[in-house]
Structure formats: C-alpha cells, structure tokens
Amino acid sequence: MTTTVLEARSVTRRFGSFTAVDDVTMDVAPGEVVGLLGANGAGKTTLMRMLLGLLPTTEGTVQMLGGPPRRERRRRLGYVPQNLGLYRDLTLTENLAFVADAYGTPAPALPDGLSRYADVLVADMPLGAQRQGAFLAALSHEPEAVLLDEPTSGVDALARATLWDTIREQADRGVGVLITTHYMQEAQQCDRLLLMSQGRLVAQGSEADIVGSTRALVVRTDDWAAAFSALNDAGAAVILDGRTVRVADAGRDEITRILTAARVDASVEPVPATIEERMLVLAREAR
C-alpha cells in the first residue's frame, strides 16, 4: 500500500540566479489534507508544479503515487490551478465534456447549484460558480491525489465553506489533498500545515505546533494609526486587525516604551499568538 501520494526530497528549483524553492522535503499521505501556507512569492506554486511534473527540479527528487511524475500517474491526479484550468470561451458543459473525454470517463452531472450555468460561457459565470466547476472537473475521474492552488481565493464565505465540504469528502474517501491558501481560517481545517518563506520550509505540523511558544500583544487605543506607525517604524512585528494593533514576539515593556515615546495613549495586553503572527515572525527570521 502506498504510504504517501506526493513526496519531495531535498527539492530545489532555480531560475537563473533566483532560488524559488530551496531544499524542501515534504509529503502528503492518503486521506490527509495538507495546507501549504506562505506569502506571495514564498515558493508554494513552484513546489506544487514540481510535484505535478510540470517543472523539473534543479536538485532533489519528487514522486507521485509511488513513482516519478509521468503521464500515466498524472492521470490519477486532480489539479485546480490558480487560473482554474477551465476554457473561458467554452460553456461549463463543454468544459466538463472535454475533461471527460481526456480521461475516458463519463461527464459528471451538474449539482443543483451549477445546473443554471450549464450552457453559460465560463467567462460569464460568477467566480464562485467557476471555482465549483473547476472542482467538479478536477474530481470527475475520482483521483487518488488532489492539488489545489488557491482554490477558494476571491469567493464569498458560503462558497468557500461549500468547497471545503468537498475537500473533506475527498479526504474521507482516502484522497490525499495538498492545498495552498492565503486564508488563515482555512489552515484550521487542514490536518497538517507546511509553512514556506522565501523558498524554504520554515515550519510544519499542526497550528499549535507552528505557533509554539510565540506570544503576541494587543494594543488598544483610539489613535490606532499613530500606534501602528510608531511600532512599524521601530521595527516591531506589527499587524493591523481592523483597527486593533497587534504585535508578535515582543516584550510588553518595550512596546509600551515605544508608544510612550510617540505620545500614543494605549493599553498593552498579552494575548495568544495567531498562526499569521507566527508566519510574520518566521519570515522576518528567514531574511
């Protein structure tokens, strides 16, 4: 029995003098949802494209479904790229028929929420419906592994929840899922997280594993803009959450001193750190 559906071993990818992925080792097991997190430019999409065999590695090796990423193994994968992989000048039905012909499988039936778009050009469909259609196309041949590159970007909360129901259904039937995302709330729905920064894998495990002992401070003040500017100028790891200023990995006395020097009247209280704050700390350490 295959213990992993996707593997990378000491993988590096360079484009000229630029290193997009730097010595990354990771895997995805059957039935596991693995979240690949990181800022834009962290190397997530490049790593995913190497796992798919769409980009060769500069160093290291990748495997899918027990072997090198060859055509016969790629037929057992489902993939939703950032551009969704649908032809915008074809209708949804035509797109699904094309995918079915490519895999030699019956075209999937449209669920109730998509049936109204059966004969609509993809270019004229709402983004949420496009993403649901891309999921349907990628899963129509019952793949053993699914790779999803920012699959819920730009859709509303209800559509995002529906897509995540589909992801969990796939994992429940034994499919290994690798998903990149910018949404920290989605990280909580993954079984395991991989955190990339500047091409390197800087942390992995559960959300609690990654946050670890990192602490944060919440700054409450009516003059939140001045507080943010003062702390940012001082080099603190500061995040603006609405109009609440948060600072990661900093001492309370030091933050109070900075605010006092800037003549900002504020209270400073310790709070548990979020994974986004831990990501910021790790990114700063990786510079």
Any idea what the CATH number is for the domain that residue 180 is in?
3.40.50.300
d(CA 67, CA 84): 26
Q: Examine the domain organization and report whether 139 and 235 are in the same domain.
A: no
Domain boundary among 191, 210, 229: 210
pLDDT at residue number 245: 93
pLDDT surpasses 60 at 203? yes
pLDDT surpasses 60 at 1? no
**Contact of 47 with 21, CB cutoff 8 Å:** yes
Mean of pLDDT values over 148-165: 82
pLDDT at residue number 287: 64
Q: What share of the chain is helix, strand, coil (3-state, %, to 5)?
A: 35, 30, 35
Q: Examine the domain organization and report whether 76 and 200 are in the same domain.
A: yes
Q: Examine the domain organization and report whether 122 and 231 are in the same domain.
A: no
Beta strands 77-80 and 237-241, pairing class: unpaired
Residue 107 CB coordination number (10 Å):
17
pTM over cut 0.85: no
Residue ranges making up the domain that contains 265: 212-286
Q: Examine the domain organization and report whether 111 and 246 are in the same domain.
A: no
Q: Examine the domain organization and report whether 95 and 121 are in the same domain.
A: yes
Q: Examine the domain organization and report whether 59 and 154 are in the same domain.
A: yes
Q: Examine the domain organization and report whether 49 and 92 are in the same domain.
A: yes
Residue whose tokens read 């649908």: 86
Q: Examine the domain organization and report whether 199 and 242 are in the same domain.
A: no
User: Residue 1 domain-assigned?
Assistant: no
- Count of domains for the chain: 2
Domain boundary among 210, 229, 255: 210
Domain boundary among 210, 226, 252: 210
Question: Which tops the pLDDT comparison, 53 or 154?
Answer: 53
The conformation of residue 67, written as its DSSP 8-state character, comes to B
| Cα dihedral across residues 271, 277, 279, 285: positive or negative | negative
Mean of pLDDT values over 24-51: 92
User: Residue 128 domain-assigned?
Assistant: yes
pLDDT band at 131 (very low <50, low <70, confident <90, very high): confident
Residue whose tokens read 């259904």: 169
Q: Examine the domain organization and report whether 63 and 171 are in the same domain.
A: yes
Q: Examine the domain organization and report whether 236 and 174 are in the same domain.
A: no
d(CA 27, CA 34): 9
**Contact of 39 with 283, CB cutoff 8 Å:** yes
pLDDT surpasses 80 at 49? yes
CATH for 267: 3.30.70.790
Mean of pLDDT values over 265-284: 85
Q: Which amino acid is at 270?
A: P
Percent of the chain with pLDDT over 70: 99
pLDDT surpasses 60 at 176? yes
Mean of pLDDT values over 150-161: 79
Q: Examine the domain organization and report whether 140 and 224 are in the same domain.
A: no
Q: Report angle CA 156, 162, 163 to the nearest 5 degrees.
A: 90
Q: Examine the domain organization and report whether 143 and 18 are in the same domain.
A: yes
d(CA 110, CA 101): 17
